Amino acid sequence: MGLEQMGVGIPDKLCGRPFDAADLERIRAEIVAAEPPQRSEIARRVCRALEWTDALGRPKLMSARVGLLRLHRAGLIELPAPSRGNGNGRGLLRGPERWPEPVAVVGTVGDLGGLRLEAVLDASASRLWNGLIARYHYLGYTPLPGAQLRYLVHCEGGVLGAIGFGAAAWKVAVRDRWIGWDAACREAHLGRVLNNARFLLLPWVRVKHLASKVLALAAARIPKDFAARYGERVVLLETFVERPRFAGTCYRAANWHYLGETTGRGKCDRTHQAALPRKGVYVYPLTAGFRAALGVVR
């Protein structure tokens, strides 16, 4: 008896992409045919078989790997064991070659020379970003989902922190009402919303107004960087601030809009059963016409 007949349902969406039984069978066939039998090769084959590409025609490998892992965990497919030991939230295989020196940085943001964001584009920068988040962020390191942008915060004195953006939450009641989305409109346009999933200033950095300045720098860069990397336009940023751990002061200071609180089900919940801390929902439009770009007609 197959898993579908045993009550394991086939999702109608996979990472925002329409999905059905025929797609599942294609994936199973690609798993069997993959040579070498590795998850990365399977993702490449699946992107080709399902024509899973971005606006520039490039395979959406990250989204495919996330989707394959979800199917694997649901028991609908069987993936080979990971070939590397740092994936899927199991810790880092290799840390950065050099950690920043824990030297106190104080004052105001105007005192910092050369303040900038440097995009994470190579393996060395990636290891540093991942390592900083793993060591110093309260949520730790897990791979960001979907299309993403990561930056290291630099000044003339060295690295000050890290910030990262990944795929938006699937469904957020207060956000969706504020935008004016129904379910179909949200599914069609969710890829134009980007989630600020991690934001870290190193614990020895105590610079007034630095956090809101970093958010402003990120908002200025993201539209161009995202379009260059993915060939698509992102028009809205979102983030979730855990209560009462944080007050969200830097987001308010950077002119993000506070919309209300989550229900405590998590950003990818589909079962309505999760019990997580409630979080404040903040959004930042990147263009005046963001609602029209998100499919809302008024």
- pTM of the predicted model, to two decimals? 0.75
Band of residue 62 on the pLDDT scale cut at 50, 70, 90: confident
| Displacement of CA 132 from its chain's centroid (Å) | 17
Dump pLDDT digits (tens) for 231-284: 889 999 999 999 888 889 999 999 999 999 987 655 455 555 555 678 999 999
Q: Dmax of the chain from CA atoms?
A: 68
- Of 255, 250, 252, the C-alpha closest to 285 is 255
Q: With pLDDT > 90 as the criterion, what percentage of the chain qualifies?
A: 61
Beta carbons within 8 Å of 116's beta carbon, 6+ residues apart: 153, 154, 155, 217
Q: For 118-145, what is the mean pLDDT?
A: 93
C-beta of residue 185 within 8 angstroms of C-beta of residue 156: no
Beta carbons within 8 Å of 176's beta carbon, 6+ residues apart: 186
Pairing of strands 236-242, 193-201: parallel
- Of 247, 148, 155, 235, the C-alpha closest to 201 is 155
111 DSSP assignment:
G
